[in-house]
Amino acid sequence: MNKKTVFSKFVPALLLAVLCLPPSMRGEAAVADNPFLVPPNTPFQTPAFDRIQISHYLPAVQEGIKRHQAEIDAIVNNPKPATFENTIVALDMSGQLLGDVASVFYSLLGAVTSPQMQDLANQLSPLFSAHNDNISLNEKLFARVKAIYDRRTKLKLSGVQLYLLENTYRGFLRSGALLDEKQKARLRDINREHSLLALKFDDNLLAETNGSYIVIDNKADLAGLPESVMAMGEETAKAMNMAGKWVFTTQRPSWTPFLQYAENRDLRKSLYSAYFMRGDRDNDKDNKAVLQKLLTFREERYRMLGYKTPAQFYLEPRMAKTPEAVHEFLMRLWQPALERAKSEAVEMQKLIDAEQGGFKLAPADWWYYAERLRKAKYDLDDSALRPYFQLENVQKGVFSLVEKLYGLKFVERKDIPIYHPEVKVFEVHEGNGTLLGILYMDFFPRDSKQGGAWSGAFRTSFYQNGKRVIPFSTLVCNFTKPTPGTPSLLSIDEVSTFFHEFGHSLDTLFTDSVYRSNFAPQDSVELPSQIMEHWVLEPELLKVYARHYKTGEVIPAALVDKLKKSSLFNQGFETVEYLAACFLDMAWHGLESALNVNVTRFEDKVMAAISLIPEILPRYRSTYFAHIHGGYEAGYYSYIWSGVLDADAFEAFKETSLFDKKTAASFRKNILAKLGTEDAMVLYKRFRGREPKVEPLLKKRGLL
């Protein structure tokens, strides 16, 4: 997931709101030793994490607001007629300090949060919301932007300049620039309350995830679990002051292997229930009412802007354009995937019946019996693969791939400050030695980290005074942790996740835009990440990174062959559980009113409408579906929409060579360096010579 910060750099001052903070939260507006306000004495002026304290954020935000307001005032009060340079470019370049502070704060809020960070987020979020409103609802500023937009056909603008102008103008319209004063006042209230609810949703989810686990005190109940999984449960228990027991959590590295291997069905059901009931326990961390309020605010907001539903608003600037187009696309995949899933369920039920299980296959059983069938069909199981995927070796494989494709070199730095001891930092160089950017990688789960995996940035690249400002990319995951005597051994899914998130980092590192703004459609942003997954099982690359952690032996060709033959195994389930969540996301955002909607009954109704079989639940239920408000609103379908792009784009490599530098150079030049600076389909056709075809995706998933 390419996790975007919830902060927008177009944020003007709201000093009165800042002054309304409690005295204990204010600090001084300028602090001489604040690492945000003084150029840090760090390599490349990377964030001074060795000095940054929570108390530094607010003074830095105050100063950032002050500087940004001066920049906005200068644009608005410029006596000269509005031009592209003195208005659009000036606006694009404004708010750099505020943007840098917010990027660090919100990145760490997801990776190393704390009650103090969460409290501060609740103070800052409505301020940032108000700042955004003060910019987007500034009538004089909008008048200048509109004046340029209205005569755009008479200006000699490049494609990139025109794209920036059009999207800047559209951003004002979509933020309420044409509303009357009463509507604008209401919009401010909605945006402020919505920002707080989004934080509450995430805080509740983190608390529910940390508090959802099972404790085992009888070793006999561990039957079926590989030694590495038992060791992980033992270490988790020790960390929770329960030495002598085993704890399995709802974090994926713990949850998935337990469901795959544990023979005790009741315990599997207990852990599965702990996972899918998060945020739905009618306690103080329940997310049902929070979600309803979020959606209700969105509905009111977008009705004021002239849209019938939130889905219509969110989809307008994307490649899909309309809810109808998304639904048609999803249904094209749904029917063959559902039929495949039904046949998979039949196979599993036959296995249960043959063993005289005496029960009907349930959602909590799927991983266990899928693993049993995979082993029976392909003599392949996850525990046999993990020893060949030591984290450090997989990292070597990723680095090797991008060196083959793009000539990149990586140099680890031990002297660049980090925000947590587990973080690794690298300089990323071009083949000619030019510094491309800095990469931070943070691999393991902890109580202070949100679940999942994402890539973002402490700073994105742009040009200042003709010189490229290098980006600071972040890659954050929740991989299987090492245990005493055993390194971090990844599942094949975790290996794919590493390659995936690294693709997002490449997108950040390669971006080569004169301007700071990026307008990549949400349903295109997974192209850079998902294409990387296609190389995971390529034999030439496997020789580099797939080596047994004890013997150094390269993964046997026979095992790789089994992996490839099994690549379509369980694809019905994987596609169906994902698509079901897409339908759920679209259904929520397709409502004209979520007020008083019963969350559980609504989910059941949506699943019944698409005839989801009872053996499968959607990948995300509403109460822990963070994508619904985390940048993928009415956009969870984006992964598979981008899947059409990445599968078709990979065909370009297959038509030449999987490591063809010419094809890679074209992909970098037209996609990785420019996505978000021009129309996404124009860029894709520039790379591929035509629009993408859906057949490669259908073939890849065994649906054709």
Catalytic center residues: 501
Q: Give CA angle at 315 (687, 452), nearest 5°.
A: 80
CA dist., res. 504 & res. 502, Å (int) = 5
Q: Which two tokens stand for residue 214?
A: 């099972």
Place of tokens 């192209």: 527
What span, in angstroms and rounded, lies between the C-alpha atoms of 95 and 67? 7
Among residues 174, 132, 164, 134, the alpha carbon closest in space to that of 8 is found at 132
Q: 2-20: string of b/e by CB count within 10 Å (b at 16+)?
A: bbbbbbbbbbbbbeebbee
Positive/negative CA dihedral, 597, 598, 604, 607? positive
Kindly give the residue spans of alpha helices, DSSP state H, lying in 211-284: 227-239, 252-261, 265-276
In the structure encoding, which two tokens stand for residue 450, read together?
Answer: 């949100």
Q: Which three-class secondary structure string do you get for 465-523?
A: CCEEECCEEEEECCCCCCECCECCECCHHHHHHHHHHHHHHHHHHHCCCCCCCCCCCHH
Question: Is the distance from CB of 409 to CB of 41 less than 8 angstroms?
Answer: no
Q: What are 631's two structure tokens?
A: 């940048």
| Rounded-to-integer distance, Cα 355 and Cα 369, Å | 12
**Tokens 């925000």, residue?**
419
In whole angstroms, what is the distance from residue 341 CA to residue 337 CA? Answer: 6
Strands 462-464 and 454-459: what pairing?
unpaired
**Biggest alpha carbon–alpha carbon distance for the chain:** 85
Tokens of 486: 């055993």
| DSSP per-residue string spanning 156-206 | ---HHHHHHHHHHHHHHHHTTTTS-HHHHHHHHHHHHHHHHHHHHHHHHHH
CA angle 365, 369, 371 (to 5 degrees): 125
Bridge partners, 429 (sequence order): 409, 435
Sequence-distant (6+) residues with CB within 8 A of 534 are 646, 647, 650, 653
Could you tell me the end-to-end alpha-carbon distance of the chain, in angstroms, rounded to an integer?
A: 27
Rounded to an integer, what distance in angstroms lies between the CA atom of residue 106 and that of residue 109? 5
Q: Are 552 and 603 in contact (CB under 8 A)?
A: no
Cβ atoms 636, 680 nearer than 8 A: no
Both tokens of 344, joined, read 């998979």
What is the distance between the alpha carbons of residues 92 and 87, in angstroms, rounded to a whole number?
8
Q: Which two tokens stand for residue 250?
A: 């709802």
Q: 435: which strand partners?
A: 429
Rounded CA gap, 50 and 190, in Å? 37
| The two structure tokens encoding residue 587 | 């259904």
Hey, what are 316's tokens? 């307008």
How many residues does this entry show for the chain?
Answer: 704
For 146, the token pair is 């509109």
